[in-house]
Structure formats: C-alpha cells, structure tokens
Amino acid sequence: MNKPPVSISLSSYGADLVRERGQGSFIGVLAAAGATRIEWREELLTLENPTQLADASQALGLESIYSSPMELWLAGQSAPNPELLPTLKRAEAFGAKWLKVSLGYFTDNNDLQTLALQLQQSPVQLLVENDQTLHGGRIEPFQRFFAEVEQHNLPIKMTFDIGNWQWQDQSAASAARLLGRHVGYVHCKAVARRADGKLVAVPPAASDLHLWGQLLRHMPQGVMRAAEYPLQGDDLVELTSEHVAVLARLGQPRQEPAHV
C-alpha cells in the first residue's frame, strides 16, 4: 500500500531559525527525512528566490504547498480578497500545486461566481483552513462555505487544522464528522495551555496520535497530512524522519502502534 503524502510546515522549525537560515536550507532536510511535500510559509520569507526554491525542491522530488496568512473573504466585501490572484501567482512561482489560506469573513452575500472565475486563471488548487479566530475558526461557517462550494462545483478543498479548533472551543471530532469529506490537507497539531493561560502548539503524545487517527477516518483515504508543531533538536533530519513515519501511519488500516 502506498504511504499517504506527508508534508512539513516550515514554521515547525521555529520562526527565528527559518528566517535566519532561509526556507531553502530545509529542502535537503525534508528530502532526507522522507517527506513528500514542503509547505512554504509566506510570513517567514526573507530574501528567498521563488524559482530557485521551486527548482531545488523539485530536483529532490518534493512537491510544494504555499501557505499565506491572507483571508479569502474580507469583512464587508462580497468579492474575494483582492490579494487572491497575486497570491495564486506567487504560489505558482514557488512551484506549488496548492495554496493554503484562511476562510475569513464568510457570509451568504459572498460572490462565489467571481471566485470561480479567479480560480480558473491558475492551476494552483485552493485549500481553505480553519484558523484560530472567532470568524474563521468555527465549524458552522465552514459548513455554509462548502455547501456553496459544492453548489458551484468549485475546485476547493479544506485544510483541516486539528489543533486550531481548540482556540474557539470547537470539537475536532464534530468538525471531522461534518466536514471530513471536504478535506484535502490535514494540519496535525497538538495543543497545550501554558501557565499564563495561552494555548500553544506542542508535539503529539500517544493520546494525540490516537485521536488524529480517529479523525482521519472521516476523511478521504490517504489524505495529505503535515506536521505543524515544534520540531526542534540537534539532528533535524532524524527528528523529522521520525515524525514523517508517524504521520504516514495515521489513519492507515491495520496500523502498528505509533511512537514518537
């Protein structure tokens, strides 16, 4: 059986280190660790050359996802965010097959026909993620959005961020049941509450891995998944390799016990 594609969000290595070293320096790490995809982070870019990153990643067999913090829908505007088309073009320049954005302020007045026309201008597939905000981190707006996506037959999938649901006290299990069939990408993220009350992403414990496996049962078999939690240590190749193997096993039939 083919292993599901595993991506690494480069934010996992820490914003300071990624900005210091440049995102291209992690291409070899991911390839050596057995990852199949790399997630570029727009908010961590410094002086990177998109064409060079695209060529270098493709040369090592890595496919690309481009992650932008932009919101698809802005408050009070029916048309899609005017940054969508330029961002799709940037994703294309990075060699990305997918662009990940946040939902933003989706209402019944949003113009899906204009969105459809814009998506026709790019070969990049749009992935819309639940973020940590009140307007973009709850289940109900995503149900309405994907009902419209289906009605208009748009080529849009969901990025299901497992951990982000906790910021708005939403049930990841309920979200998976209600939205799982729309998912094209899963951001795996365990969450802990610090002493000051702030929620933060942390590496998974065995209980998290068990939960993630249950959630993936509601999603397409072999769905693309990514680590988006701290990957920090002296040997990044070995550490990343361990987590790639664990994530590849999630949701697979007759999976063996996963260890991190």
Domain containing residue 71: CATH number: 3.20.20.150
Q: What is the pTM of this model?
A: 0.95
Confirm whether 47 is domain-assigned: yes
Q: Rounded mean pLDDT of the chain?
A: 96
37-48 b/e with 16+ CB inside 10 Å = b? bbbbbbebbeee
Structure confidence at residue 253 (pLDDT):
74
Q: Which domain holds residue 144?
A: 6-249
Taking only the tens place, the pLDDT of each residue in 58-101 is: 999 999 999 999 999 999 999 999 999 999 999 999 999 999 99
pLDDT at 176: 98
CA-based torsion, 193, 196, 202, 206: positive or negative: negative
- pLDDT tens per residue across span 90-143: 999 999 999 999 999 999 999 999 999 999 999 999 999 999 999 999 999 999
Handedness of CA 79, 105, 202, 253 (dihedral sign): negative
pLDDT tens profile 17-72? 999 999 999 999 999 999 999 999 999 999 999 999 999 999 999 999 999 999 99
Note whether residue 259 is domain-resident. Answer: no
Residues 170-195 as b or e (16 or more Cβ within 10 Å = b):
bebeebbebbbebbbbbbbbbbeeee
Residue 69 maps to a domain? yes
Q: Is the pLDDT of residue 251 over 70?
A: yes
Sequence-separated (6 or more) residues with CB below 8 Å from residue 207: none
Structurally, the chain folds into a number of domains equal to 1
Residues 18, 200: Cα–Cα separation, whole Å: 19
pLDDT tens for each residue of 198-236: 999 999 999 999 999 999 999 999 999 999 999 999 999
Q: Which of 250, 158, 245, 185 lies closest to 213, judged by CA?
A: 250
- Chain-centroid distance of CA 37 in Å reads 11
